Amino acid sequence: MRIQGIKYYLVIITILTTMTRCSQPTPFYQSMKIQSTDSTISYLEVDSLNTGYLTNGFTWEFWFQISDVTNDAPCLLMVPDADNNNDLAIFIDPTTGKTITLFYGNNQVTATSARNLLDGEFHSLALADDGSGRLTLFVDGSLRIAKSHTWHLNPTGLNILIGGDWDPGGATPENGWTGFIDEVRLWDTALADDELIFHGTRIEKLMEHFDAELLAHLKVLWRFNTTDKSQEVVSDEHPGSGDRPMLLPRGDVTWTENAAR
């Protein structure tokens, strides 16, 4: 009887083990891991973006992690002009991890982050332009740049890059990213400062208080959410209608479960 009881016990353990294995959730991928080296530049290329979203005011929002860098300053965003030079670009210093350099037109300005962006943690960065001469940059919900200007974005060159930069003239990419890009949002209006402060620590929220009129200005939302890591593009998930631009991985880019949320 003791041996028979052991058999029943083993059968029960086998059934429970099988049930546990069958109930394991499907992996959920929530960001892109981008790996650049001195010889391989990796980045995301924006395909079929309606550049009208950028010409009368805009807000770019990013959630990212930098895990390592090459000798070149990683470029978070690059919008090329007609000559494929920087019309708008954001670079992060590869040595201190705190200096952010913003290029807009023929202008250049630097900001200092309160936190080291190379600390292995996820960070947020938002860049807003109201189309009337005011440009602001927030890092982790803190205002770091506020500039008055006469520049007007004119995105007429090659595709926009996230995590990379076209070299002068647009022949090849450079300043590749090494780390993770978790979420990217593009609004066709400048979000208010208090909204950007709120977003700095609330990636799960599209806005602090629901506003249907404001939500209509969200034109692109790349959340990198999928259960199928064989996908070769990142689809736009914004809640409205209209264009659905895609992100095209270039170089050593893979889906990962790592995320800022």
pLDDT tops 60 at residue 7: no
* Residue 73 located in a structural domain: yes
Beta-carbon contacts of residue 13 (< 8 Å; ≥ 6 apart): none
Determine the average pLDDT of the residues in 110-127. Answer: 94
Query: At residue 22, does pLDDT exceed 50?
Result: no
- Residue 243 binned pLDDT confidence (cut-offs 50, 70, 90): confident
At residue 175, the 3 state secondary structure works out as coil
**pLDDT tens, residue by residue, 122-150:** 999 999 999 999 999 999 999 999 999 99
pLDDT of residue 15: 41
CATH number at residue 151: 2.60.120.200
Domain of 55? Answer: 27-256
Q: Are 58 and 161 in contact (CB under 8 A)?
A: no
- DSSP lists the bridge partners of residue 221 as 185
**9 is a domain residue:** no
Selected residue with higher pLDDT from 214 and 203:
214
pLDDT band at residue 24 using 50, 70 and 90 as cut-offs:
low
Q: What is the pLDDT of residue 2?
A: 45
Q: Is residue 108 part of a domain?
A: yes
27 or 20: which leads in pLDDT: 27
Q: Is residue 184 part of a domain?
A: yes
Check whether 3 has a pLDDT greater than 50.
no
- Domain membership of residue 2 (yes or no) is no
pLDDT for res 38: 82
| Residue 10 located in a structural domain | no
Give the rounded percent of residues in the chain with a pLDDT score beyond 90. 56
Query: Which is nearest to 181 in space by CA: 196, 163, 166, 199?
Result: 163
Local confidence band at 21 (pLDDT 50, 70, 90 cut-offs): very low
Long-range contacts of 192-197 (CB under 8 A, 24+ apart): 193/136, 193/138, 193/143, 196/59, 196/61, 196/126, 196/128, 196/136, 196/138, 196/141, 197/138, 197/141, 197/142, 197/143
Q: So what's the pLDDT on residue 18?
A: 45
Its pTM stands at 0.87
Q: How many domains does the structure of the chain reveal? A: 1
More confident residue, 57 or 7: 57
CA dihedral 117, 197, 130, 222 (to 10 degrees): 60
197: three-class secondary structure by DSSP: helix
Strands (E), the chain: 31-34, 43-47, 58-66, 75-80, 86-92, 99-104, 107-112, 123-129, 134-139, 142-148, 161-162, 165-166, 173-174, 179-187, 218-222, 246-250, 253-256
